[in-house]
Structure 1
Amino acid sequence: MDFLRGCLTLIVTTFLIATLFVYSILPKMRNIHGVNVMCFLASMIFMNISFALRLLIKISDMPTGLCPIIAITHHFAYIATFSWLNVLCFGVWRMFSSIRSPKPTPIWGKPFFYSSLYGWGIPLVIVVVGQIVQHSDVPDYVIKPRLPSEMYCWFDHKYRGSVIAYLYGPLIVMIGANNIMIVWAGIKFCQRSVESSKVTNVSRNKQRFKVILSLFVLMCLPWSIGMIFFMAGINFNRLVTGIFNALLPIFIFIILICKPSVWKMLKLKFPRMSPFFLTCEKLGSRIVCKRSKHQPLVAVEENPSNSNNTTEMNKIGYQHPAKAESTV
């Protein structure tokens, strides 16, 4: 069973690698938001690969030192995935909380530096502190991570204090912060949708908010349920979690890549592969674009001055949301 789960995890991880590859080859996708998404994807790829190795290789068959490397890598990537999701949620919160329009900033400027300091720094501090405590002669009341455990290349859930202190505790704080930022951004978004007459900006922000909200629900809701079960001492079915973990990279690929604007950029980048991308676009549109037919009607309803809607759109250079959206 573990071997099957490990193979399945590696197979579906290719969807994350493909998503990261698309972001890396399309210049318009590599704005500050896109680079943050790439860091989120990279951390999740390492999390899945290290998880698959834990399942595929028995501890008895591992060379000396491999088990700690896999465990520490998985620990770091696990927390980094949620810390970068934290960064993405903060970006959406800041986008809707700021009164002024955001100024264009260099990709490798201060915003990305601070994002990296948080996204990579938080997991690094937790892992390093845990390993220092693990290999130090500390009093008994100090909780050690016990990573890796004697039986697993991971935490031993029998030691609940270790799991809470070095894994679930930080994740609970991050997920709680994400909840606050997403709810606040949703309230501000509804206010902006009613008050703003700039349909193009509203549509672009709406697309980005939907993407981050989808990632937030996919990542945080199931893990929150898992944490609740762990705290309550309930053993949840591994088959259910295995199926979800297998579907998660596919959902992320659909959310981030299966959009008309992305397929259009790919067709321009690789003209010879246009038939393939066209087929993928048609398949993707059947899955995620059913609501797009009603999008113009929603845009009209959101604007309180419906009678002058066409004139106002012409003045501001209205574009279809898929064309107006540079990157999400």
Structure 2
Amino acid sequence: MTDPIRWGILGAANFALTHMAPAIHAARDAHLLALATSDRAKAAPFAALAPGLRVHDGYDALLADPDIEAVYVPLPNTLHVEWALKALDAGKHVLVEKPVAMRAADIDAVIARRDETGLLAAEAFMIVHHPQWVKAREMLADGAIGELAHVDVRFSYNNPDPGNIRNRADVGGGAMSDIGVYALGGVRFATGEEPETIRFADVDIEGGVDVFAHFAADFPSFSYDGLVSTRLGLRQEVVFHGRTGVLTLPVPFNANVFGEARLVLERPGMEVTTWRFPGVNHYVLQVEAFGRSVRDGVPFACPLEFSRGTQAAMDAVLSKAREGTGR
């Protein structure tokens, strides 16, 4: 790449301040140029991170800035499609925080506009850029654990605050929207398979949002059991159980926050091998991959078609739960 990608962020979301703004600032060939917010106090820590930051009072004003090439959208879930489309219409590449949409069918409009404009539009599904997931996919494909038979996924944290955006139905909150994307998307990425049937789904609702979801699915070559919750203690783990071995990701989703990313391979004879990935920042890798895709045409690891598949799987889980048939 030659010139750095000039980025703008729509909204001063805390997640953007904590993770994505620092990632854009730290990434090679990326430059955080602008932020859209009407609250100057919220803009201050972004400006401290990126001296010379332009602060636009509104989202439309940022999209009208001719110097901005790419836009990161960390807005509430229900606004993702709207502002992704507006960004593309304004001639900007766009990275949308997950989930792209509240229903799989709603992503079709973004795919169509992406194709019409020739711009890059993608979901910020950062884990696919982390080397632990890339290596896990390679190991599964190479038969490191023999034939894959079953996958277990657990991802939970406890956030009972009714005012938190994750607990508000009006902005698309819920455990599935927030972390179900990891539980299903990560396994789809690592195995290259799609769920054929949702066998059961047990979902608890509080205040109009799902706060607990336990579900099972059949993939073409393996069974799957997933659990996500925003009302349980901190836990995350992915276990790929094969005929001759077990591959575990103890910190699959929040590397460097929940702990050190690593892969643990258990083989016959109680042989255990561990690969560690200290300090790897998947947000920075995501920004750099986005830049290579924009500048050099390198395929992005998480195209919208992949994101649509994950959303379709989440839709199917919630639909199964609404049937009220349980198992």
Greater C-alpha Rg? 1
- Which structure would you say has the larger RCO, counting Cα contacts within 8 Å and 6 or more residues apart? 1
TM-score by length of 2: 0.21
Q: Which has the higher strand share?
A: 2
Q: Which has the higher helix share?
A: 1
